[in-house]
Amino acid sequence: MASSSSNSPCAACKSLRRKCQPECVFAPYFPPDQPQKFANVHKVFGASNVTKLLKELQPHQREDAVNSLAYEAEMRLRDPVYGCVGVISVLQHQLRQLQTDLRYAKSELSKYKNLGHDGLIEASTHHHHHPRST
Amino acid sequence: MASSSSNSPCAACKSLRRKCQPECVFAPYFPPDQPQKFANVHKVFGASNVTKLLKELQPHQREDAVNSLAYEAEMRLRDPVYGCVGVISVLQHQLRQLQTDLRYAKSELSKYKNLGHDGLIEASTHHHHHPRST
């Protein structure tokens, strides 16, 4: 967890042009050297919504919350139409593709495995005969 | 695309207690019968941020944008710490698991496929002999 230096205000207070108090709710998560992180969150959610949200959480949950908000905000600025819901769509598409591939691989595998060793020889001989008898 | 009825204000204007003008940017996406959709988006992003975002988009992109914002907002209210970034984490975990399963199935499959038919008989015979010769 980053903490603001005693001299410089945190990135949030600097952006909002206000004094960074020792109890500032933003300071631990928006260090002065990461101004973009606050700018993104502020632009997408608004500082007052983020303040409200953080105050409703336990202190130990706040860092994860800020980081997930920062990720969502960055994705929304990169893709104003879909934001991180676009990421979810891509992942769901990949999941469905992998599930199809896995189902296919497993059905292929079961053809071999169900045969067993003797079955394999028989099936193998069988395959050799049939196409040639036509 | 839903449009507001001519009588009742859209869910956004009703919530914000203002007159719903014919050119209302919210009306097509926040019909009066879906008050929760606007309430969620307003609570998480704020009406003015959403207005700004919609005005920066082409009209044909706005419905998708509103629906992705509504989804993000709903996820953030259900899970205030991770929001829809939690969904992304779950999907990424499932993807990695499926990739591992698929890699394993493919390596199993390649053992059979690389053998070919004659190889299968040979390998199969081989397997029958070796354990019994020890």
pLDDT for A35 beyond 90: yes
Percent of chain A clearing pLDDT 90 (strictly above): 74
Q: For the ranges A48-62, B14-28, B59-73, B106-120, which has the lowest average pLDDT?
A: B106-120
Give whole-number Cα distances, A96 to A13, A91, A104, B98, B104, in Å. 45, 9, 12, 10, 18
Residue for token pair 């993104």:
A40
Q: DSSP per residue over A3-40, as a string? A: ---SSSPPHHHHHTT----TT-SSTTTS-TT-HHHHHH
B2-11 pLDDT tens trace: 444 456 899 9
Looking from the CA of B98 toward its CB, the CA atoms found within 13 Å total 20
Q: Which residues of A touch B108 (CB under 8 A)?
A: 109
Amino acid identity of B75? M
pLDDT at A56 over 90: yes
pLDDT 10s digits, A69-125: 999 999 999 999 999 999 999 999 999 999 999 999 999 888 887 776 555 554 455
Radius of gyration of chain B (CA): 28
What part of B 1-40 touches A (C-beta under 8 Å)?
Answer: none
- Tokens describing residue A102: 């896995």
Please report which confidence band the pLDDT of residue A6 belongs to, taking 50, 70 and 90 as the band edges. Answer: low
Q: Does residue A128 surpass a pLDDT of 50?
A: no
List CB contacts (< 8 A) between B85 and chain A. Answer: 68, 71-72, 84
Reported as a pLDDT band with limits 50, 70 and 90, residue B37 is very high
Instruction: Please state the rounded mean pLDDT for residues B53-80.
Output: 97
**CB B34, CB B17: distance < 8 Å:** no
Check pLDDT > 60 for residue A4: no
What percent of chain A is modeled with pLDDT above 70? 81
- Cα separation, B97 vs A121, in Å, equals 34
Residue A113 pLDDT: 77
User: Is B27's pLDDT higher than 90?
Assistant: yes
- Compare CB distances from B88 to A49, A84, A121 and report the shortest one's residue: A84
Task: Name chain B contacts of A53, Cβ cutoff 8 Å.
Answer: 76, 80
Average pLDDT, chain A: 86
**How far is B34 from B70, CA to CA, in rounded Å?**
11
Distance CA B26, CA A96 (A): 34
CA terminus-to-terminus distance, chain A: 74
pLDDT confidence of residue A31? 94
- Of A90, A88, A63, A95, which Cα lies nearest the Cα of B75? A88
- CA B30, B34, B35, B36 torsion-angle sign: negative
**Residue B82 burial (CB count, 10 A):** 22
pLDDT of residue A40: 97
- Whether B77 shows a pLDDT value over 50: the answer reads yes
Q: Which of B14, B18, B47 is nearest to B31 (CA)?
A: B14
Q: How distant is the alpha carbon of residue B67 from its chain centre?
A: 11
Examine the predicted complex and report whether its ipTM is higher than 0.85. no
pLDDT digits (tens, 9 = 90+) for B102-129: 999 999 888 887 776 555 554 455 444 4
pLDDT higher than threshold 70 for residue B76:
yes
Share in percent of chain A as helix, strand, coil (round to 5): 70, 0, 30
Gyration radius of chain A over CA positions: 28
Residues A48 and B46: their CA atoms lie apart, in Å, by 10
| The pTM of the whole model exceeds 0.90 | no
Length of chain A: 134
pLDDT of residue B112: 81
pLDDT for B8: 86
Q: Which pLDDT score, from 0 to 100, does residue B117 have?
A: 56
Q: Residues of A with CB below 8 A from B76's CB?
A: 53, 72
Q: Please report the residues numbered 90 through 119 in chain A whose beta carbons come closer than 8 angstroms to any beta carbon of chain B.
A: 91-92, 94-95, 98-99, 101-102, 105-106, 108-109, 112, 117-118
B64 touches chain A (CB under 8 A): yes
* Per-residue confidence (pLDDT) for residue B114, from 0 to 100: 75
Phi (first) and psi of residue B114, to 5 degrees: -65, -20
Q: Residue A114's pLDDT is what?
A: 76
Domain residue spans of chain A: 11-78, 84-128
Whether the CB-CB separation of A127 and B120 falls below 8 Å is answered with no
**Calpha distance B12→B16 (Å, rounded):** 6
A88, A92, A111: best to mutate for the B interface, most B CBs within 10 A: A88
